[in-house]
Chains A and B, each alone.
Chain A
Amino acid sequence: MINHYFKWLKGRSAPAASDGTIVVDGARTGSGRARNRLVMTMAVFLAMYGVIAGRLVYLGFQDIAENGGPAYRNTASRPDIIDRNGELLATDIKTFSLFAEPRRIVDADEAIEKLLTVLPDLDYEQTYHRLRTDAGFVWLRRQLSPRQQTAIMGLGVPGIGFRSENRRFYPGGATASHVLGLVDIDNKGIAGIEKYIDSQGLADLRAIGLAEREALKPFQLSIDIRVQHILRDELVRATNRFRTIASGGVVLDARTGEVVAMVSLPDYDPNNPVDAHKIDRLNRMSGGVFEMGSTFKGFTMAMALDSGEVSLNDSFDARRPLTVGKHTIRDFHGKGRVLSVPEIFIFSSNIGTARMAETVPIEQHKAFFRRIGLLDRMSTELPEVATPTGPAEWKRINRITISFGHGVATTPLQTAVSTAALVNGGVLFDPTFLPRSQSDAVDHATAVLDPKTSAAMRYLFRLNVEKGSGRRAEVPGYFVGGKTGTAEKVVNGRYSTDKRFNAFLSVFPADDPQYVVLVILDEPKPEQPGMGATSGLNAAPTVSNIVRRSAPLLGVMPEFGHESAALLVSTQ
């Protein structure tokens, strides 16, 4: 046929060729019939080729995915999260989900037997029934490791396949759960730092398809996972020992505002967050507000000293309870005498604190608490931040109860941040969960206190551990300073006498504070019947253990043979 065509072409293009042997009939006769036939043949062939080409184009536009299992769910990539020393806190790992297409399975028994060599815990009967159905595909096992996947591929079973998906994995489990937060099934951050990362542009990057895993730099936090573990370990012990309903703790760098560790118990395992949304799993440290109790006396004392109305050498009458309207303010461990300012602090006298607060006008009191960051919502990276609550208008009774920590509820993290300002020379930092150098910290700092007041507060905190209610927080060599807080909890609108909220607020080393450690214990019970359950007996020793174990890791050098007299002299 092609030969004919060739000849015909030749005949047309060279009709006058001298070589007459290849002239065909059509050319010789000059008749239109043969030409018509040829044109028709060409048309038929063109149509055939056209159909084939069209079919090819059509097939080219078809999706190939139709033949294999469920649609591919593209889970987003997230950057790794690492701690301040580069330890891995969260990472994406690729997992493989095994599916089968029962119609393509040749021999279900053989397939299952082979699979059992890799997945020994596969349920034989259940799998058999699944493979005998007429379904297009069935899931056999979700989230296999790459090793298992390779092994199953090696079995060469027909009719099975894999879908890969990214899964967020937290090697530390619950250790840093409340800081890291959570991701949902599509790998989007829904709580904690994970949510913060998304809000910082990762979501936008992903929307335009640039969030490739290779391109994402690890996200570094200020958390030190070793200290985080110690904090959690000690809090778990305290929870068991004092049978608390909840507890929490934070270790804060007093010179930069970095959060080095933060734990809130009970917590959850972010790898299997089945109970992350239970109401008692909230992040108490930044997302819960509490009446912090006597730890607030430190702030009242700083306010009084900073106003210049009160000095460390003054004393106040704490002999009789203080009556305001129909309320009477009493002391928990009343000494029934005139107390000097340091004594008010170390005996934690409500009356003395109230009388001292009253040397300063109410507005000034409120302004000071606002300045030091106790009354407003703090700004930090974590999305879970609660707003402190308190009376809209401070009356005399309000300011008196607030002076010793009742009537204003604030977040524990915020309390620790304000304490850092009390002792670090009077500089308030925004707390941060990201690494911050001391030079950067200056940009986030506000001077809120006279450095002299700060020195006096260091002395008082230290004195309280040497001689006062915080003795059990002492760690030889680390010079711990601190203040106990034992608040009565409000139950049905009244202060309960047997339910307590304990806190211990500490700084170390007290001569040059580098870290603030705050521990809270919610409803601790006496260790043994007949013993007390005050903060000095449970929260203080917990802090002591935390400092003893974490200080060497934080690079704080122990010092011995140090006299606290030096501190006292510096304040005068």
Chain B
Amino acid sequence: MFRTTDVILIGVMVAAAGLTFKVKYDAELKLEEIRRLQAEIQTEADTIDVLRADLSVLTQAGRLQKLVDAYNGELQLEPVEPDQVSSMNRIAETLRAVGEIAAARTQEAEAVTDGVQTGAVSE
């Protein structure tokens, strides 16, 4: 019947076939995993694109302006006036200007002072 070498060779052949099958099967599994991950990455990338677009829509100046107008009762936001803008290296100058504005406002306030006493006005 079969010689020992035949049996060994057949064994090797079967083992090799089994190994090849397993490697191939594993490779297919991995490929499937890669495809799945790639699809997931693509979905996430697409979602990021959409979310960025959404964010951009939500932060559009026009939209914010409408919201500010609609909720101005609570928010009480006003546009910045030029005299409210300054930089660090001009702080002294600005303080002086603000002082002048404040002084002017005080004068105005004094001109219309009435008899009502408030906590903020000293005797």
Contact = CB atoms under 8 A, between A and B. Distances in A.
A229 B60 contact: yes
B61 interface: yes
Given A146-B43, A146-B46, A229-B61, A93 B53 contact: yes
A325 interface: no
Nearest to A91: B53
Interface in B44-60: 45-47, 49-50, 52-53, 56-57, 60
A477 B43 CA distance: 51
A513 to B, nearest CB: 17
B4 interface: no
Interface stretch (B28-36, B85-93, B109-117): B85-93
A171 B53 contact: yes
Contact of A172 (B62, B65, B86): B62
B56 A87 contact: yes
A229 B64 CA distance: 11
Interface stretch (A198-206, A454-462, A556-564): A556-564
A226 B47 contact: no
A430 to B, nearest CB: 29
B13 interface: no
Nearest to A478: B82
A93 B62 contact: no
B50 to A, nearest CB: 5
B119 interface: no
A377 interface: no
A477 B82 contact: yes
B85 A552 contact: yes
Contacts of A171: 53, 56-57, 60
Given A476-B82, A557-B90, A558-B85, A226 B61 contact: yes
B49 A548 contact: no
Contacts of A145: 50
Nearest to B90: A557
Q: Which of A91, A171, A226, A478 has the most CB of B within 10 A?
A: A171
Q: Which of A146, A147, A173, A230 has the most CB of B within 10 A?
A: A146
A84 interface: no
A551 B80 CA distance: 10
Interface residues of B, number: 24
Contacts of A92: 49
A549 interface: yes
Nearest to B57: A171
Contacts of B53: 88, 91, 93, 169, 171
A543 B82 CA distance: 15
Interface in A201-244: 214, 225-226, 229-230, 233
A226 B46 CA distance: 27
Contact of B56 (A88, A147, A214, A230): A88
A146 B80 contact: no
Q: Which of A88, A214, A226 has the most CB of B within 10 A?
A: A88
Interface in A448-487: 475-478
A32 B49 CA distance: 77
A173 B57 CA distance: 9
B62 A558 contact: no
Contacts of A542: none
B123 interface: no
Nearest to B65: A233
B73 interface: no
A478 B81 CA distance: 11
A94 interface: yes
A64 B83 CA distance: 70
Given A87-B56, A146-B47, A171-B56, A233 B85 contact: no
A548 B46 contact: no
A552 B80 contact: yes
A88 B58 CA distance: 12
Interface string A518-562: 000000000000000000000000000000110110000110110
Contacts of A93: 46, 49-50, 53
Contacts of A502: none
Contacts of B97: 560-561
28 contacts: A88-B52, A91-B52, A93-B46, A93-B50, A146-B47, A146-B50, A147-B50, A171-B56, A171-B60, A173-B60, A175-B60, A175-B61, A225-B61, A226-B61, A229-B61, A229-B62, A233-B62, A475-B82, A476-B83, A549-B79, A552-B82, A557-B86, A558-B82, A558-B83, A558-B85, A560-B83, A560-B97, A561-B97
Given A229-B61, A477-B82, 17 more contacts: A88-B53, A93-B49, A94-B50, A146-B46, A169-B53, A171-B60, A175-B61, A175-B62, A229-B62, A476-B83, A477-B83, A477-B85, A478-B82, A548-B81, A551-B82, A552-B85, A557-B85
Interface of A: 87-88, 91-94, 145-147, 150, 169, 171-173, 175, 214, 225-226, 229-230, 233, 475-478, 548-549, 551-552, 557-558, 560-561
**Considering the complex of A and B, which 9 residue pairs feature the smallest CB-CB distances, nearest first?**
A477-B82, A171-B56, A558-B82, A229-B61, A88-B56, A94-B46, A171-B57, A552-B85, A93-B50
